[in-house]
Chain A
Amino acid sequence: MTKVLCITRIVWLDMLRRKDVYVLLILLGALLTALVSLNIFGLGGLVVYVKDVGLLATWGFGWILAVHIACRCLPQEEQRGTIYALLAKPVTRLQLVVGKWLGAWSVTCAATLAFYALLTAMVVFQGGTAALDGAVLIQGVLLHGAVLAILCALGLLFSTRMHQDAAATLTYVLSFAAFIILPRMPGLMARASGWHGTLVSIVYHLLPHFEIFDMRKRMVHDWGAVNGATFLTVLLYGAVYTALLLAIAWLAFRKKRFSRENLA
Protein backbone atom coordinates (compact mmCIF):
# COMPACT_ATOMS: atom_id res chain seq x y z
CA MET A 1 0.00 0.00 0.00
CA THR A 2 2.94 2.35 0.70
CA LYS A 3 4.02 2.06 -2.92
CA VAL A 4 0.51 2.81 -4.20
CA LEU A 5 0.27 5.86 -1.92
CA CYS A 6 3.70 7.00 -3.06
CA ILE A 7 2.53 6.96 -6.69
CA THR A 8 -0.68 8.73 -5.62
CA ARG A 9 1.39 11.45 -3.97
CA ILE A 10 3.18 12.14 -7.26
CA VAL A 11 -0.19 12.83 -8.92
CA TRP A 12 -1.12 15.18 -6.05
CA LEU A 13 2.12 17.14 -6.20
CA ASP A 14 1.86 17.38 -9.98
CA MET A 15 -1.65 18.81 -9.78
CA LEU A 16 -0.96 21.16 -6.87
CA ARG A 17 2.05 22.62 -8.63
CA ARG A 18 0.39 22.88 -12.05
CA LYS A 19 -2.38 25.02 -10.55
CA ASP A 20 -5.17 23.74 -12.89
CA VAL A 21 -7.47 23.11 -9.91
CA TYR A 22 -7.08 26.65 -8.60
CA VAL A 23 -8.16 28.05 -11.97
CA LEU A 24 -11.39 26.04 -11.92
CA LEU A 25 -12.05 27.02 -8.30
CA ILE A 26 -11.62 30.72 -9.13
CA LEU A 27 -13.87 30.28 -12.18
CA LEU A 28 -16.61 28.69 -10.09
CA GLY A 29 -16.28 31.39 -7.43
CA ALA A 30 -16.57 34.11 -10.08
CA LEU A 31 -19.60 32.38 -11.64
CA LEU A 32 -21.44 32.03 -8.34
CA THR A 33 -20.63 35.58 -7.28
CA ALA A 34 -21.95 36.84 -10.61
CA LEU A 35 -25.14 34.77 -10.19
CA VAL A 36 -25.80 36.18 -6.73
CA SER A 37 -24.89 39.79 -7.40
CA LEU A 38 -25.95 40.48 -10.98
CA ASN A 39 -29.58 39.33 -10.65
CA ILE A 40 -29.72 37.98 -14.22
CA PHE A 41 -33.33 37.77 -15.56
CA GLY A 42 -34.48 38.77 -12.08
CA LEU A 43 -33.55 35.32 -10.77
CA GLY A 44 -30.60 36.41 -8.61
CA GLY A 45 -32.66 36.35 -5.45
CA LEU A 46 -33.77 32.73 -5.92
CA VAL A 47 -31.75 30.19 -3.94
CA VAL A 48 -33.02 27.42 -6.23
CA TYR A 49 -31.48 29.16 -9.20
CA VAL A 50 -28.08 29.54 -7.49
CA LYS A 51 -28.16 25.89 -6.43
CA ASP A 52 -29.15 24.69 -9.90
CA VAL A 53 -26.46 26.59 -11.81
CA GLY A 54 -23.86 26.02 -9.07
CA LEU A 55 -24.42 22.25 -9.08
CA LEU A 56 -24.31 22.14 -12.87
CA ALA A 57 -20.97 23.97 -12.80
CA THR A 58 -19.67 21.70 -10.01
CA TRP A 59 -20.57 18.60 -12.02
CA GLY A 60 -19.10 20.08 -15.19
CA PHE A 61 -15.83 21.13 -13.58
CA GLY A 62 -15.52 17.84 -11.69
CA TRP A 63 -16.10 15.96 -14.96
CA ILE A 64 -13.42 17.98 -16.77
CA LEU A 65 -10.91 17.53 -13.96
CA ALA A 66 -11.48 13.78 -13.68
CA VAL A 67 -11.02 13.16 -17.42
CA HIS A 68 -8.16 15.65 -17.72
CA ILE A 69 -6.13 14.20 -14.83
CA ALA A 70 -6.88 10.51 -15.37
CA CYS A 71 -6.13 10.53 -19.10
CA ARG A 72 -2.81 12.24 -18.56
CA CYS A 73 -1.31 10.18 -15.72
CA LEU A 74 0.12 7.22 -17.61
CA PRO A 75 0.89 8.72 -21.07
CA GLN A 76 2.80 11.53 -19.38
CA GLU A 77 4.98 9.05 -17.50
CA GLU A 78 5.76 7.36 -20.80
CA GLN A 79 6.29 10.57 -22.73
CA ARG A 80 8.81 12.05 -20.33
CA GLY A 81 10.47 8.66 -19.81
CA THR A 82 9.89 8.54 -16.05
CA ILE A 83 8.04 5.25 -16.45
CA TYR A 84 11.39 3.47 -16.89
CA ALA A 85 12.89 4.70 -13.62
CA LEU A 86 9.57 4.02 -11.86
CA LEU A 87 9.11 0.45 -13.09
CA ALA A 88 12.79 -0.33 -12.53
CA LYS A 89 11.90 -0.19 -8.85
CA PRO A 90 10.06 -3.04 -7.14
CA VAL A 91 6.69 -1.70 -8.27
CA THR A 92 4.20 -3.84 -10.15
CA ARG A 93 2.13 -2.50 -13.00
CA LEU A 94 -1.01 -3.15 -10.98
CA GLN A 95 0.35 -0.91 -8.21
CA LEU A 96 1.12 1.74 -10.80
CA VAL A 97 -2.39 1.62 -12.31
CA VAL A 98 -4.09 1.67 -8.90
CA GLY A 99 -1.78 4.42 -7.61
CA LYS A 100 -2.45 6.62 -10.62
CA TRP A 101 -6.21 6.03 -10.41
CA LEU A 102 -6.23 6.77 -6.68
CA GLY A 103 -4.23 9.93 -7.31
CA ALA A 104 -6.52 11.15 -10.09
CA TRP A 105 -9.67 10.28 -8.12
CA SER A 106 -8.55 11.78 -4.80
CA VAL A 107 -7.38 15.02 -6.42
CA THR A 108 -10.67 15.32 -8.32
CA CYS A 109 -12.69 14.54 -5.18
CA ALA A 110 -10.75 17.11 -3.14
CA ALA A 111 -11.31 19.77 -5.80
CA THR A 112 -15.01 18.84 -6.08
CA LEU A 113 -15.38 19.07 -2.29
CA ALA A 114 -13.90 22.56 -2.48
CA PHE A 115 -16.48 23.39 -5.22
CA TYR A 116 -19.29 22.06 -2.98
CA ALA A 117 -17.97 24.07 -0.01
CA LEU A 118 -17.99 27.22 -2.10
CA LEU A 119 -21.49 26.49 -3.39
CA THR A 120 -22.78 25.73 0.11
CA ALA A 121 -21.33 29.00 1.39
CA MET A 122 -23.07 30.90 -1.40
CA VAL A 123 -26.39 29.13 -0.83
CA VAL A 124 -26.27 29.72 2.94
CA PHE A 125 -25.31 33.35 2.31
CA GLN A 126 -28.31 33.71 -0.01
CA GLY A 127 -31.00 31.75 1.79
CA GLY A 128 -29.75 30.83 5.30
CA THR A 129 -29.02 27.33 6.66
CA ALA A 130 -32.59 26.17 5.94
CA ALA A 131 -31.88 26.48 2.20
CA LEU A 132 -29.85 23.26 2.19
CA ASP A 133 -30.79 19.76 3.35
CA GLY A 134 -27.65 18.28 4.95
CA ALA A 135 -28.60 14.61 4.38
CA VAL A 136 -29.27 15.13 0.65
CA LEU A 137 -26.07 17.12 0.34
CA ILE A 138 -24.00 14.30 1.89
CA GLN A 139 -25.66 11.66 -0.30
CA GLY A 140 -25.20 13.85 -3.37
CA VAL A 141 -21.52 14.45 -2.66
CA LEU A 142 -20.83 10.74 -2.04
CA LEU A 143 -22.62 9.66 -5.21
CA HIS A 144 -20.81 12.37 -7.13
CA GLY A 145 -17.57 10.83 -5.79
CA ALA A 146 -18.64 7.48 -7.24
CA VAL A 147 -19.24 9.09 -10.66
CA LEU A 148 -15.75 10.60 -10.52
CA ALA A 149 -14.29 7.19 -9.60
CA ILE A 150 -15.86 5.62 -12.71
CA LEU A 151 -14.76 8.52 -14.91
CA CYS A 152 -11.17 8.33 -13.64
CA ALA A 153 -11.06 4.58 -14.21
CA LEU A 154 -12.51 4.97 -17.72
CA GLY A 155 -10.00 7.69 -18.64
CA LEU A 156 -7.12 5.66 -17.22
CA LEU A 157 -8.25 2.58 -19.14
CA PHE A 158 -8.24 4.39 -22.48
CA SER A 159 -4.93 6.08 -21.71
CA THR A 160 -3.18 2.72 -21.28
CA ARG A 161 -3.27 2.24 -25.04
CA MET A 162 -3.81 5.74 -26.45
CA HIS A 163 -2.34 9.20 -26.56
CA GLN A 164 -3.76 11.34 -23.75
CA ASP A 165 -5.76 13.58 -26.12
CA ALA A 166 -7.37 10.60 -27.85
CA ALA A 167 -8.13 8.99 -24.49
CA ALA A 168 -9.71 12.22 -23.18
CA THR A 169 -11.85 12.65 -26.31
CA LEU A 170 -13.06 9.06 -26.16
CA THR A 171 -13.81 9.34 -22.43
CA TYR A 172 -15.80 12.55 -22.96
CA VAL A 173 -17.78 11.11 -25.87
CA LEU A 174 -18.55 7.83 -24.13
CA SER A 175 -19.37 9.34 -20.74
CA PHE A 176 -21.58 12.12 -22.15
CA ALA A 177 -23.34 9.60 -24.39
CA ALA A 178 -23.92 7.37 -21.38
CA PHE A 179 -25.15 10.28 -19.26
CA ILE A 180 -27.51 11.72 -21.87
CA ILE A 181 -28.64 8.75 -24.00
CA LEU A 182 -28.91 5.87 -21.50
CA PRO A 183 -31.91 7.30 -19.56
CA ARG A 184 -33.80 7.39 -22.88
CA MET A 185 -32.87 3.89 -23.96
CA PRO A 186 -35.58 1.82 -22.22
CA GLY A 187 -38.13 3.32 -24.66
CA LEU A 188 -35.87 2.40 -27.57
CA MET A 189 -35.42 -1.12 -26.19
CA ALA A 190 -39.20 -1.58 -25.97
CA ARG A 191 -39.56 -0.72 -29.68
CA ALA A 192 -36.51 -2.64 -30.96
CA SER A 193 -36.72 -6.35 -31.70
CA GLY A 194 -34.44 -9.13 -32.99
CA TRP A 195 -30.70 -8.43 -33.08
CA HIS A 196 -31.35 -4.68 -32.88
CA GLY A 197 -33.03 -5.23 -29.55
CA THR A 198 -30.17 -7.43 -28.34
CA LEU A 199 -27.61 -4.82 -29.41
CA VAL A 200 -29.46 -1.98 -27.69
CA SER A 201 -29.83 -4.12 -24.58
CA ILE A 202 -26.09 -4.92 -24.50
CA VAL A 203 -25.18 -1.24 -24.89
CA TYR A 204 -27.68 -0.32 -22.18
CA HIS A 205 -26.25 -2.76 -19.68
CA LEU A 206 -22.60 -2.30 -20.62
CA LEU A 207 -22.27 1.48 -20.37
CA PRO A 208 -22.08 3.14 -16.94
CA HIS A 209 -25.40 4.54 -15.72
CA PHE A 210 -24.26 7.92 -14.48
CA GLU A 211 -27.86 9.14 -14.22
CA ILE A 212 -28.53 6.99 -11.15
CA PHE A 213 -25.85 8.91 -9.23
CA ASP A 214 -27.31 12.30 -10.07
CA MET A 215 -28.87 13.88 -6.95
CA ARG A 216 -28.90 17.43 -8.29
CA LYS A 217 -32.69 17.72 -8.65
CA ARG A 218 -33.18 16.40 -5.13
CA MET A 219 -30.72 18.96 -3.81
CA VAL A 220 -32.15 21.88 -5.79
CA HIS A 221 -35.82 21.20 -4.99
CA ASP A 222 -35.31 19.78 -1.49
CA TRP A 223 -37.00 16.47 -2.29
CA GLY A 224 -35.25 14.76 0.61
CA ALA A 225 -32.70 11.95 0.81
CA VAL A 226 -33.15 8.57 -0.88
CA ASN A 227 -33.52 5.51 1.36
CA GLY A 228 -30.37 3.91 2.69
CA ALA A 229 -30.66 0.61 0.78
CA THR A 230 -31.04 2.32 -2.60
CA PHE A 231 -28.19 4.67 -1.79
CA LEU A 232 -25.83 1.80 -0.80
CA THR A 233 -26.83 -0.26 -3.87
CA VAL A 234 -25.95 2.63 -6.16
CA LEU A 235 -22.63 3.15 -4.33
CA LEU A 236 -21.88 -0.57 -4.67
CA TYR A 237 -22.67 -0.43 -8.39
CA GLY A 238 -20.17 2.44 -8.70
CA ALA A 239 -17.49 0.53 -6.78
CA VAL A 240 -17.94 -2.67 -8.81
CA TYR A 241 -17.96 -0.78 -12.12
CA THR A 242 -14.77 1.08 -11.12
CA ALA A 243 -13.05 -2.15 -10.05
CA LEU A 244 -13.96 -3.79 -13.37
CA LEU A 245 -12.59 -0.88 -15.39
CA LEU A 246 -9.37 -0.90 -13.35
CA ALA A 247 -8.99 -4.66 -13.88
CA ILE A 248 -9.33 -4.16 -17.66
CA ALA A 249 -6.88 -1.22 -17.49
CA TRP A 250 -4.36 -3.46 -15.73
CA LEU A 251 -4.81 -6.22 -18.33
CA ALA A 252 -4.23 -3.69 -21.10
CA PHE A 253 -1.19 -2.23 -19.36
CA ARG A 254 0.56 -5.27 -17.93
CA LYS A 255 2.38 -6.32 -21.12
CA LYS A 256 2.63 -2.94 -22.78
CA ARG A 257 5.92 -1.98 -24.43
CA PHE A 258 6.77 1.63 -23.87
CA SER A 259 7.97 4.12 -26.42
CA ARG A 260 8.53 7.82 -25.89
CA GLU A 261 8.47 8.49 -29.62
CA ASN A 262 4.94 7.16 -30.13
CA LEU A 263 3.53 9.60 -27.62
CA ALA A 264 5.67 12.66 -28.33
Chain B
Amino acid sequence: MEFAIEIDNLNVRFPARGSTVQALDGLSLRVGLGEAVGFIGPNGAGKTTAIHVLLGFIEPSSGHAKIFGQDSRQSVARERIGYLPEHPDTYRFLTGRELLRMAGKLFLMKEKNLRERIDAVLRLVDIEQAADRRIGTYSKGMLQRICLAQALINNPDLVILDEPTGGLDPLGRMDIRKLIARLRDEGKTVFFSSHELSEVELVCDRVAMLARGRLVAEGPVTDLVAPGESLERFFLRTVAGPQSEQRATPTSREMGNRKQKGHRP
Protein backbone atom coordinates (compact mmCIF):
# COMPACT_ATOMS: atom_id res chain seq x y z
CA MET B 1 0.00 0.00 0.00
CA GLU B 2 1.30 3.44 -0.90
CA PHE B 3 1.35 6.06 1.80
CA ALA B 4 1.49 9.79 1.29
CA ILE B 5 3.59 10.13 4.43
CA GLU B 6 5.67 7.50 6.20
CA ILE B 7 7.59 8.46 9.31
CA ASP B 8 9.56 5.71 11.04
CA ASN B 9 11.15 6.00 14.47
CA LEU B 10 12.15 9.59 13.88
CA ASN B 11 14.47 11.22 16.38
CA VAL B 12 15.59 14.83 16.20
CA ARG B 13 17.98 16.28 18.74
CA PHE B 14 19.07 19.91 18.81
CA PRO B 15 22.13 21.15 20.65
CA ALA B 16 21.12 23.81 23.18
CA ARG B 17 23.60 25.52 25.54
CA GLY B 18 25.77 22.57 26.35
CA SER B 19 22.94 20.05 26.42
CA THR B 20 20.63 18.56 23.82
CA VAL B 21 16.92 19.01 23.31
CA GLN B 22 15.00 15.98 22.10
CA ALA B 23 12.55 17.61 19.71
CA LEU B 24 11.22 14.31 18.33
CA ASP B 25 11.43 11.06 20.22
CA GLY B 26 10.85 7.93 18.17
CA LEU B 27 7.95 9.37 16.16
CA SER B 28 6.28 6.90 13.80
CA LEU B 29 3.28 7.85 11.71
CA ARG B 30 1.63 6.88 8.46
CA VAL B 31 -0.81 8.92 6.42
CA GLY B 32 -2.71 7.14 3.67
CA LEU B 33 -3.63 8.57 0.28
CA GLY B 34 -6.65 10.87 0.36
CA GLU B 35 -6.74 11.15 4.14
CA ALA B 36 -7.15 14.41 6.03
CA VAL B 37 -5.06 14.17 9.18
CA GLY B 38 -4.89 16.76 11.93
CA PHE B 39 -1.53 17.03 13.64
CA ILE B 40 -2.14 18.42 17.09
CA GLY B 41 -0.16 18.98 20.24
CA PRO B 42 0.82 21.71 22.69
CA ASN B 43 3.36 24.40 21.81
CA GLY B 44 6.84 22.92 21.59
CA ALA B 45 5.52 19.37 21.10
CA GLY B 46 7.53 18.99 17.89
CA LYS B 47 4.82 19.43 15.24
CA THR B 48 6.71 21.99 13.16
CA THR B 49 9.95 20.04 13.60
CA ALA B 50 8.25 16.91 12.24
CA ILE B 51 6.88 18.91 9.29
CA HIS B 52 10.33 20.39 8.65
CA VAL B 53 11.84 16.89 8.55
CA LEU B 54 9.12 15.86 6.10
CA LEU B 55 10.06 18.77 3.86
CA GLY B 56 13.78 18.10 4.11
CA PHE B 57 14.58 21.31 6.02
CA ILE B 58 16.00 19.35 8.94
CA GLU B 59 18.10 16.19 8.88
CA PRO B 60 16.82 13.74 11.49
CA SER B 61 19.29 12.41 14.09
CA SER B 62 17.93 8.93 13.33
CA GLY B 63 14.95 7.32 11.63
CA HIS B 64 13.55 8.36 8.32
CA ALA B 65 10.66 10.12 6.64
CA LYS B 66 9.23 9.37 3.22
CA ILE B 67 6.85 11.23 0.95
CA PHE B 68 5.05 9.01 -1.56
CA GLY B 69 7.75 6.42 -0.96
CA GLN B 70 10.69 8.75 -1.60
CA ASP B 71 13.21 9.94 0.95
CA SER B 72 12.04 13.37 2.12
CA ARG B 73 15.59 14.77 1.87
CA GLN B 74 15.55 14.45 -1.91
CA SER B 75 14.16 17.41 -3.83
CA VAL B 76 12.11 15.13 -6.13
CA ALA B 77 10.08 14.07 -3.09
CA ARG B 78 8.69 17.60 -2.98
CA GLU B 79 7.29 17.58 -6.51
CA ARG B 80 3.84 16.44 -5.35
CA ILE B 81 3.68 18.58 -2.20
CA GLY B 82 2.08 21.92 -1.48
CA TYR B 83 3.20 23.57 1.75
CA LEU B 84 1.91 26.52 3.69
CA PRO B 85 4.35 27.50 6.46
CA GLU B 86 3.46 28.77 9.90
CA HIS B 87 3.34 32.62 9.85
CA PRO B 88 3.45 32.69 6.05
CA ASP B 89 5.06 35.64 4.39
CA THR B 90 6.28 36.12 0.87
CA TYR B 91 7.97 38.51 -1.55
CA ARG B 92 5.99 41.67 -0.91
CA PHE B 93 7.56 43.42 -3.89
CA LEU B 94 5.87 40.97 -6.29
CA THR B 95 2.26 41.02 -7.41
CA GLY B 96 0.11 38.02 -6.55
CA ARG B 97 0.23 36.80 -10.14
CA GLU B 98 4.04 37.19 -10.36
CA LEU B 99 4.43 35.15 -7.17
CA LEU B 100 2.31 32.33 -8.54
CA ARG B 101 4.20 32.40 -11.85
CA MET B 102 7.49 32.15 -9.98
CA ALA B 103 6.17 29.25 -7.87
CA GLY B 104 4.92 27.44 -10.97
CA LYS B 105 8.25 27.90 -12.76
CA LEU B 106 9.99 26.19 -9.84
CA PHE B 107 7.84 23.15 -10.61
CA LEU B 108 8.88 23.47 -14.28
CA MET B 109 5.27 23.99 -15.36
CA LYS B 110 4.66 24.72 -19.03
CA GLU B 111 3.57 28.28 -19.85
CA LYS B 112 0.04 27.45 -21.05
CA ASN B 113 -0.70 25.11 -18.12
CA LEU B 114 0.76 27.63 -15.74
CA ARG B 115 -1.48 30.46 -16.99
CA GLU B 116 -4.56 28.30 -16.57
CA ARG B 117 -3.47 27.04 -13.18
CA ILE B 118 -2.73 30.57 -11.91
CA ASP B 119 -6.27 31.65 -12.82
CA ALA B 120 -7.69 28.51 -11.21
CA VAL B 121 -5.91 28.92 -7.86
CA LEU B 122 -6.64 32.64 -7.77
CA ARG B 123 -10.34 31.73 -8.11
CA LEU B 124 -9.97 28.96 -5.54
CA VAL B 125 -8.60 31.25 -2.83
CA ASP B 126 -10.85 34.11 -3.99
CA ILE B 127 -8.17 36.70 -4.62
CA GLU B 128 -8.58 37.30 -8.36
CA GLN B 129 -9.43 40.99 -7.95
CA ALA B 130 -6.08 41.67 -6.22
CA ALA B 131 -3.92 39.41 -8.38
CA ASP B 132 -2.13 42.28 -10.14
CA ARG B 133 -1.52 44.32 -7.01
CA ARG B 134 1.75 44.22 -5.05
CA ILE B 135 1.53 41.75 -2.17
CA GLY B 136 2.83 44.50 0.13
CA THR B 137 -0.60 46.12 -0.11
CA TYR B 138 -2.50 42.96 0.95
CA SER B 139 -4.24 42.47 4.29
CA LYS B 140 -3.21 39.59 6.56
CA GLY B 141 -6.07 37.44 5.33
CA MET B 142 -5.17 38.11 1.70
CA LEU B 143 -1.52 37.35 2.43
CA GLN B 144 -2.53 34.01 3.93
CA ARG B 145 -4.63 33.24 0.86
CA ILE B 146 -1.96 34.14 -1.69
CA CYS B 147 0.53 31.98 0.25
CA LEU B 148 -2.00 29.16 0.16
CA ALA B 149 -2.44 29.75 -3.57
CA GLN B 150 1.31 29.36 -4.16
CA ALA B 151 1.19 26.13 -2.14
CA LEU B 152 -1.49 24.80 -4.49
CA ILE B 153 0.00 25.99 -7.79
CA ASN B 154 1.32 22.54 -8.72
CA ASN B 155 -2.03 20.86 -8.00
CA PRO B 156 -0.33 18.83 -5.25
CA ASP B 157 -1.40 15.37 -4.13
CA LEU B 158 -0.29 16.12 -0.58
CA VAL B 159 -1.00 19.45 1.09
CA ILE B 160 0.90 20.21 4.29
CA LEU B 161 -0.45 23.14 6.26
CA ASP B 162 1.30 24.40 9.39
CA GLU B 163 -1.16 26.37 11.52
CA PRO B 164 -3.13 27.57 8.48
CA THR B 165 -5.66 29.57 10.50
CA GLY B 166 -3.22 31.24 12.90
CA GLY B 167 -4.00 34.94 13.34
CA LEU B 168 -7.04 34.90 11.07
CA ASP B 169 -10.47 36.28 11.96
CA PRO B 170 -13.44 33.87 12.15
CA LEU B 171 -14.37 34.57 8.54
CA GLY B 172 -10.84 33.84 7.34
CA ARG B 173 -10.76 30.67 9.43
CA MET B 174 -14.02 29.52 7.91
CA ASP B 175 -12.66 30.10 4.39
CA ILE B 176 -9.57 28.02 5.14
CA ARG B 177 -11.72 25.31 6.67
CA LYS B 178 -13.90 25.19 3.56
CA LEU B 179 -10.82 25.01 1.40
CA ILE B 180 -9.38 22.10 3.37
CA ALA B 181 -12.72 20.30 3.10
CA ARG B 182 -12.72 20.95 -0.65
CA LEU B 183 -9.18 19.62 -1.06
CA ARG B 184 -10.12 16.54 0.91
CA ASP B 185 -13.20 16.03 -1.26
CA GLU B 186 -11.00 16.29 -4.37
CA GLY B 187 -9.06 13.31 -3.06
CA LYS B 188 -5.95 15.21 -1.93
CA THR B 189 -4.11 14.13 1.17
CA VAL B 190 -4.23 16.91 3.73
CA PHE B 191 -1.87 16.98 6.70
CA PHE B 192 -2.24 19.98 8.90
CA SER B 193 -1.15 21.12 12.31
CA SER B 194 -3.45 23.36 14.27
CA HIS B 195 -4.31 24.60 17.73
CA GLU B 196 -7.91 25.15 16.63
CA LEU B 197 -9.17 21.76 17.75
CA SER B 198 -12.76 22.46 16.77
CA GLU B 199 -11.56 22.90 13.17
CA VAL B 200 -9.51 19.73 13.30
CA GLU B 201 -12.59 17.93 14.54
CA LEU B 202 -14.67 19.30 11.69
CA VAL B 203 -12.40 18.60 8.73
CA CYS B 204 -10.18 15.65 9.69
CA ASP B 205 -10.67 11.94 9.23
CA ARG B 206 -7.99 11.24 11.76
CA VAL B 207 -5.83 13.02 14.31
CA ALA B 208 -2.28 12.41 15.47
CA MET B 209 -1.46 13.94 18.83
CA LEU B 210 2.08 14.81 19.77
CA ALA B 211 3.46 15.67 23.22
CA ARG B 212 7.15 16.20 24.06
CA GLY B 213 8.15 14.80 20.70
CA ARG B 214 6.19 11.57 21.10
CA LEU B 215 3.02 10.38 19.48
CA VAL B 216 0.56 10.02 22.37
CA ALA B 217 -2.67 9.35 20.49
CA GLU B 218 -3.66 8.54 16.96
CA GLY B 219 -6.87 7.57 15.24
CA PRO B 220 -10.27 8.79 14.03
CA VAL B 221 -11.73 11.50 16.29
CA THR B 222 -14.82 9.37 16.98
CA ASP B 223 -12.61 6.52 18.27
CA LEU B 224 -10.47 8.72 20.50
CA VAL B 225 -13.12 10.94 22.03
CA ALA B 226 -15.71 9.56 24.46
CA PRO B 227 -19.41 10.22 23.65
CA GLY B 228 -20.28 13.82 24.56
CA GLU B 229 -16.63 14.74 25.01
CA SER B 230 -14.91 17.33 22.83
CA LEU B 231 -11.53 16.93 21.17
CA GLU B 232 -10.30 19.81 23.31
CA ARG B 233 -11.15 17.99 26.53
CA PHE B 234 -9.55 14.82 25.20
CA PHE B 235 -6.49 16.85 24.30
CA LEU B 236 -6.23 18.31 27.81
CA ARG B 237 -6.79 14.92 29.43
CA THR B 238 -4.14 13.26 27.28
CA VAL B 239 -1.51 15.94 27.20
CA ALA B 240 -1.71 17.66 30.56
CA GLY B 241 -3.44 15.12 32.81
CA PRO B 242 -6.76 15.12 34.68
CA GLN B 243 -6.00 18.17 36.88
CA SER B 244 -5.84 20.49 33.87
CA GLU B 245 -9.04 18.95 32.61
CA GLN B 246 -10.80 20.13 35.77
CA ARG B 247 -9.45 23.66 35.28
CA ALA B 248 -10.62 23.82 31.68
CA THR B 249 -13.75 25.76 30.86
CA PRO B 250 -16.45 23.74 29.14
CA THR B 251 -16.54 24.01 25.37
CA SER B 252 -19.63 25.09 23.48
CA ARG B 253 -20.39 21.52 22.51
CA GLU B 254 -20.23 20.41 26.13
CA MET B 255 -22.29 23.41 27.18
CA GLY B 256 -24.94 22.20 24.74
CA ASN B 257 -24.77 18.69 26.20
CA ARG B 258 -25.11 20.05 29.74
CA LYS B 259 -28.11 22.17 28.80
CA GLN B 260 -29.78 19.12 27.30
CA LYS B 261 -29.20 17.23 30.54
CA GLY B 262 -30.54 20.12 32.63
CA HIS B 263 -27.17 21.20 34.13
CA ARG B 264 -26.33 24.80 34.84
CA PRO B 265 -23.23 25.78 32.94
Contact = CB atoms under 8 A, between A and B. Distances in A.
Interface of A: 2-3, 6, 9-10, 13-14, 17-18, 80-82, 84-92, 255, 257-258, 260
B106 A89 contact: yes
B140 interface: no
Nearest to B59: A255
B89 A87 contact: no
The 9 tightest CB contacts between A and B, nearest first, are A88-B83, A84-B85, A17-B93, A89-B106, A6-B105, A90-B75, A81-B89, A90-B78, A90-B79
Contact of A85 (B59, B83, B105): B83
Given A84-B85, A89-B78, A257-B58, A13 B106 contact: no
B102 A82 contact: no
B57 A85 contact: no
A3 B78 CA distance: 14
Given A10-B91, A90-B107, 18 more contacts: A3-B105, A6-B105, A10-B94, A10-B102, A14-B91, A80-B90, A81-B87, A82-B89, A82-B91, A84-B85, A85-B147, A85-B151, A88-B160, A89-B78, A90-B76, A91-B106, A255-B59, A257-B14
Given A13-B94, A17-B93, A90-B107, A84 B57 contact: yes
Tier of interface size on chain B: 20 to 34
Nearest to B92: A80
Contacts of A3: 105-106, 108
Nearest to A88: B83
A19 B82 CA distance: 33
Nearest to B78: A90
A13 B93 contact: yes
Given A85-B88, A89-B107, A90-B75, A258 B102 contact: no
A204 B75 CA distance: 40
Contacts of B56: 87
Contacts of B108: 2-3
Contacts of B83: 84-85, 88
Given A6-B105, A88-B78, A81 B94 contact: no
A2 B105 contact: yes
Interface of B: 14, 55-59, 75-76, 78-79, 81, 83-85, 87-91, 93-94, 98, 102-103, 105-108, 147, 150-151, 154, 160
18 contacts: A2-B108, A3-B105, A6-B102, A10-B94, A81-B87, A81-B89, A82-B91, A84-B55, A85-B83, A85-B84, A85-B88, A85-B151, A88-B78, A89-B78, A89-B103, A90-B106, A91-B106, A257-B14
A91 B103 CA distance: 11
Contacts of B106: 3, 6, 86, 89-91
A155 to B, nearest CB: 20
Contacts of B160: 88
Contacts of B85: 81, 84-85, 88
A255 to B, nearest CB: 6
B217 to A, nearest CB: 27
A2 B111 CA distance: 13
A259 B107 CA distance: 25
A88 B77 CA distance: 10
Contacts of A2: 105, 108
Contacts of B147: 85
B105 A13 contact: no
A257 B150 contact: no
Nearest to B49: A257
A11 to B, nearest CB: 10
Contacts of A257: 14, 57-58
Contacts of A255: 59
A88 B93 contact: no
A13 B78 CA distance: 26
A257 B56 CA distance: 10
